[in-house]
Amino acid sequence: MSAEDEDPYPLPSRIGRMPINQKRLHEKVMQAPPRGIPRDELEAHFRGMPHWYWKNVTKAELVWGLETVHAFLAKLAAWDTPGAPAVASLRHCPERGFTKVMVCTLDRPGLLAKISSTFSALRINILQADVYTRTDNIALDVFQVAGMDSRPIDTERLKQLIFMLEGALNDPPRLVSVWTRQLQKAHEPIAKTAAVVDFDNETSETNTILRVEAPDRLGLLCSILEALHQCSVNVAQAVVNTEGGLASDLFYITDRDGAKIHHKLALGTIRKVVLEAIQN
């Protein structure tokens, strides 16, 4: 290892700099590492995940994430086609009325919109989404979802999700990607109820917060994310909640250079494009 490659924060120093929950989880995981996952993968996860990931993650969810990333890295090592592979796994939460789906792939512009589109095409509604990107460009996103039909969200449906998502991530996109978009758009029409779109540049030090409130429908999240991608907006974090048929979503966004968005013209354009996407 050259001097340039050396970690500027050796392990003891990094541990001391970790937030309390992250440090506690680090100690527990290192005492009893998940089987089959090497230490360098564990350290990459603790070193690379964003700070908001560590605020609420439990040990069980952390191990689930480590296992999902490990499966993705193994698939990536054997990948020999254009684009990127994807891995997805699920946990059922019947007492809470939803299923958790974790998706791992390489990050890219518009990724969250592509994932949302595949869910919509499969008639799966996203109730909440937590979006995380590691510093090594691995995206690890967790979705709370519920089916819009009588079909269970099982491993077979998960295979369909992966197949359709990898089609969208192929370079150029495979034909299945076009089919996915056609299915996603084939949702029932929705009344043009007024939506709320506003911005907060005070709460976060690093991001502009976009707040969207609108009647929920299948594909709503995908429509909003595609609108943001159209505006060359980066989504650093999305907190998506649906209750009583109303979607109340927060998007932590920056411009393409990673800076907060202050210009009134730019904010006005984003508001216009998002409102149009909600109503279409």
Q: Where are the domains of the chain?
A: 11-185, 196-279
Q: Is the dihedral of CA 10, 12, 17, 18 positive or negative?
A: positive
The CATH class of the 11-185 domain is: alpha beta
Look at residues 74, 18, 77, 79 and name the one whose alpha carbon lies nearest to residue 43.
18
d(CA 200, CA 182): 34
pLDDT at position 198 over 60: yes
CB neighbours of 62 closer than 8 A, spacing ≥ 6? 25, 29
Tens-place pLDDT, residues 54-79: 988 999 999 999 999 999 999 999 99
Residue 97: other Cβ atoms inside 10 A: 9
130 is written with which tokens?
A: 């937590």
Say whether 196-279 and 11-185 share the same fold. yes
Q: Please name which of 252, 181, 244, 185 lies closest in space to residue 212, comparing C-alpha atoms.
A: 252
**Residue from 92, 41, 96, 81 nearest 63 by CA:** 41
pLDDT tens digits, 202-239:
999 999 999 999 998 777 888 899 899 999 998 887 88
Query: In this model, does residue 170 exceed pLDDT 80?
Result: no
pLDDT of residue 250: 93
Tell me whether strands 98-106 and 138-147 are parallel, antiparallel or unpaired.
antiparallel
Among 146, 148, 141, 162, smallest CA distance to 61 is for 141
d(CA 202, CA 112): 25
159 pLDDT more than 80:
yes
> What is the spatial distance between Cα 30 and Cα 96, in angstroms, rounded to a whole number?
31
Q: Which is the CATH superfamily of the domain at 196-279?
A: ACT domain (3.30.70.260)
pLDDT tens-place string over residues 69-114 = 999 999 999 998 888 899 999 999 988 889 999 999 999 888 888 8
Q: What is the mean pLDDT of residues 124-134?
A: 86
CA pair distance 119, 145, nearest whole angstrom: 9
